[in-house]
């Protein structure tokens, strides 16, 4: 969700106004995903590197998370949304952690849309954590190193039970992954748009989905093989 700061600057507003406007784009995107029957949406809200930002900006972002959880959780629940937060939550304020735990507990059994918020998250952090967990099991003699394969490794990552993403969208014109779901993006289609996050709306999402629909995903096969597989 990139471009909040630039959106605000263009309007001679403080960067924080861009983040506030960004919450509106989150709401529109979630509503559109529900309408379109999309089963999983992961939003990169705060990276492990974002702590480097000015302290006032970091605290405003944390306040926005708390306020959004307080304001939106009941509505998400009514709409069958399961909310989860991934990342190193130990660094977050106790109040925020409490709100997250409450929202996760309330929506646990919903399955219409998996809404995942990545907060203090980094793809490398996720991979290193999985490696450490496996190493601990080997160290305790509970696992043989020889049985570690991609499937077992994957089961120790934050999104173990969520299918790998079909589409990655980055707003704001930058063409980078920036330490998002590194492992999970191996076969994901990448889509970059210059639209700044606060301006991202239903039409922007539909455009990205249309672009995705026109692509051929081959997973290592030839184009001809994929066509014959699809035709049965
Ligand atoms: C990147 O834009 C955006 C962020 C670091 C924060 C994203 C947060 C929200 C949209 C707020 C609320 C989210 C939830 C889930 C309630 P930037 O500041 O890097 O923009 P710039 O590149 O234009 O400076």
pLDDT tens for 42-94 read 999 999 999 999 999 999 999 999 999 999 999 999 999 999 999 999 999 99
For the segment 96-153, what is each residue's pLDDT rounded down to a tens digit?
A: 999 999 999 999 999 999 999 999 999 999 999 999 999 999 999 999 999 999 999 9
Average pLDDT of the segment spanning 176-188: 97
Cα dist from 217 to 211, 213, 221, 224, whole Å: 13, 10, 9, 12
Give the CA radius of gyration of the chain. Answer: 19
State the Cα angle at 179 between 3 and 146, rounded to 5°.
Answer: 160
Residues with CB under 6 A from ligand 1: 1-6, 19, 22-23, 26, 43, 45, 50, 61, 64-65, 68, 117, 172, 197
Q: How many CA atoms lie within 13 A of 3 on its CB side?
A: 20
For the segment 188-222, what is each residue's pLDDT rounded down to a tens digit?
A: 999 999 999 999 999 999 999 999 999 988 888 99
Which residues are registered as beta bridge partners of 169? Answer: 191
What pLDDT sits at residue 230? 87
Q: Are 7 and 18 in contact (CB under 8 A)?
A: yes
- Boundaries of domain holding 60: 4-230
Using DSSP's 3-state secondary structure scheme, residue 189 falls into strand
Q: Are 62 and 179 in contact (CB under 8 A)?
A: no
Q: Are 197 and 27 in contact (CB under 8 A)?
A: no
Instruction: Measure 230 CA to ligand 1 centroid, in angstroms.
Output: 39
DSSP code, position 171: -
The residues, any chain, with a CB within 8 Å of residue 135's CB and separated by 6 or more, are: none
Instruction: Measure 58 CA to ligand 1 centroid, in angstroms.
Output: 10
Domains in the chain: how many in total? 1
Instruction: Compute φ and ψ for 27, nearest 5 degrees.
Output: -60, -45
Q: Which atom of ligand 1 is nearest to the CA of 65?
A: 16
Cα dist from 178 to 15, 102, 124, whole Å: 20, 29, 10
The answer for 54, left when phi > 0, alpha when psi is -120 to 50, beta otherwise, is beta
Q: Which atom of ligand 1 is nearest to the CA of 44?
A: 7
Active site residue 2: yes
Q: Which atom of ligand 1 is nearest to the CA of 50?
A: 5
CATH number at residue 51: 3.40.1180.10
Cα dist from 45 to 4, 51, 212, whole Å: 11, 12, 23
Going by alpha carbons, the residue nearest to atom 10 of ligand 1 is: 22
Instruction: Measure 197 CA to ligand 1 centroid, in angstroms.
Output: 8
**pTM reported for the whole predicted model:** 0.93
Active site residue 111: no
Using DSSP's 3-state secondary structure scheme, residue 168 falls into strand
What pLDDT sits at residue 216? 82
Instruction: Measure 70 CA to ligand 1 centroid, in angstroms.
Output: 19
């Amino acid at each position: 969700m990139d471009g909040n700061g630039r959106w605000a600057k263009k309007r001679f507003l403080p960067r924080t106004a861009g983040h506030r406007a960004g919450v509106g784009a989150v709401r529109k995107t979630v509503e559109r995903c529900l309408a379109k029957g999309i089963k999983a949406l992961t939003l990169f809200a705060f990276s492990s590197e974002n702590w480097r930002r000015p302290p006032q900006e970091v605290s405003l972002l944390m306040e926005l998370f708390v306020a959004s959880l307080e304001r939106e959780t009941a509505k998400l629940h009514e709409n069958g949304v399961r909310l989860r937060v991934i990342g190193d939550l130990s660094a977050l304020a106790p109040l925020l952690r409490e709100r997250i735990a409450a929202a996760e507990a309330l929506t646990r059994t919903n399955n219409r849309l998996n809404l995942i918020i990545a907060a203090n998250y980094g793809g490398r952090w996720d991979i290193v954590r999985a490696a450490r967990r496996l190493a601990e099991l080997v160290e305790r003699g509970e696992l043989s190193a020889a049985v570690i394969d991609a499937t077992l490794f994957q089961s120790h990552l934050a999104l173990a039970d969520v299918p790998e993403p079909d589409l990655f969208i980055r707003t704001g014109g930058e063409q980078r992954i920036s330490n998002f779901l590194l492992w999970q993006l191996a076969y994901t289609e990448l889509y970059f748009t210059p639209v700044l996050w606060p301006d991202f709306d239903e039409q922007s999402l539909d455009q990205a989905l249309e672009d995705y629909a026109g692509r051929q995903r081959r997973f290592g096969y030839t184009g001809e093989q994929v066509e014959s597989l699809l035709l049965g």
